[in-house]
Amino acid sequence: MTQIHRELQLDGWMISLNGAMISRPSTGEIVRSQTISPEAGFHLIAEGMAHGFTLVACCARRTFASAQTPLLERYQSRGGERDAIIGLPSDLGGEDLLKLIWIAEPASLDAVQQQVMIRDSGRLNVIRSDSLYIEFMAADADKELGLRAVAEMLQVPRERTMAFGDGANDIKMLAWAGLGVAVGHAIESVKAVVNFVGPKTEDPGSAFAAAVTAVLPSYNGKTA
């Protein structure tokens, strides 16, 4: 996200890591940083490694990966995190761990998902964001809370906010926004909570642009 933010020469606030961080890439300023405790982070790393998963630790300033694997390469090609440092940090407290991702084939994650989500409910925000990923964040790291925080900072009322999304981790944010937009390939539970569904495209990456192009003429001037 930081790379795209800079390529577009934007100067506003960026909500990232499922709401765990609010930053201004143009200045490096961070105004929200919801971290996983070092104790919880070490436990999750040990557990993920014991299962043989590929792990990605997204920290405040750097991203680490447990090993260079085909699953990591697939993650990097989709998420753009191509600068991950191979080797997990020994000092999670010093690195400010914002999100830990377990990456594995769907059947392997299916086998542990229910147990992990029940165990960590209330203690962490745990999301199965994709068939290949289980993501762990601090309990108060959430896209909806991130959007709320930015709206309050900018003194923008809820009804003048807009959010786009496609996955389960977007639902609360989309439901809260004044205008929630699902892209064409979004899952059905996302489409159920939004005001507008964008057109389907062959390339999921272009679906966001297609949704913006489709929705803005109807709502011009109604959102911030």
User: How high is the pLDDT of residue 219?
Assistant: 63
Kindly calculate the radius of gyration of the chain based on its CA atoms and give it in whole angstroms.
18
Sequence-separated (6 or more) residues with CB below 8 Å from residue 193: 171, 174, 175, 180
What values do phi and psi take at 193, rounded to 5? -110, 0
Distance, in Å, from the CA atom of 199 to the CA atom of 66, rounded to the nearest integer, reads 38
Q: Cα separation of 17 and 58, whole Å?
A: 8
Beta-ladder partners of 15: 22
Share of the chain above pLDDT 90, in %: 54
Q: Where in the chain is the domain with CATH 3.40.50.1000?
A: 143-224
Q: Please, what's the largest Cα pairwise distance for the chain? A: 53
Average pLDDT over residues 151-173: 92
pLDDT at 220: 57
Task: Please give the class, per CATH, of domain 143-224.
Answer: alpha beta
For 55-77, write each residue's pLDDT tens digit: 999 998 889 999 999 999 988 88
**CATH number listed for the domain at residues 38-138:** 3.30.1240.10
Binned at pLDDT 50, 70 and 90, residue 38 comes out as very high
